[in-house]
Amino acid sequence: QVQLVESGGGLVQPGGSLRLSCAASGFTFSMYHMSWYRQVPGKEREWVARIISFGSTYYADSVKGRFTISRDNAKNTVYLQMNSLKPEDTAVYYCKAEFRLQNYWGQGTQVTISS
């Protein structure tokens, strides 16, 4: 049974940091490209960052220089380190696993940036 379980969300003041985790099970994690997306109510889900199976990383312009995606294949976990957080980063954050035609999503974790 495939599972992606996000954690680490919460309420943080502007300028603060959070680290999100996404623990995977039920598939060969090391073979999958992993991504983080985010969504606010009434808007399309937005791609945030991606790390491919052999480690190259890619970021949306809106988070470049502030967010870092990483993976630990031994722990079947992908991370999103978020620094210098802004109110516009407020969203539900989802992780996604991709391999060829297979896509899996987690249930999401809420991140709220507010003073």
* pLDDT bucket at 106, cuts 50 / 70 / 90: very high
Whole-number Cα distances in Å, 81 to 29, 34, 64, 103: 19, 14, 12, 23
User: Looking at residue 54, what is its pLDDT?
Assistant: 85
Strand partners, 33: 98
- What are 44-88's pLDDT values in tens digits? 999 999 999 888 999 999 999 999 999 999 999 999 999 999 999
Whole-number Cα distances in Å, 12 to 21, 25, 84: 16, 29, 10
Residue among 6, 33, 34, 10 at smallest CA distance from 89? 10
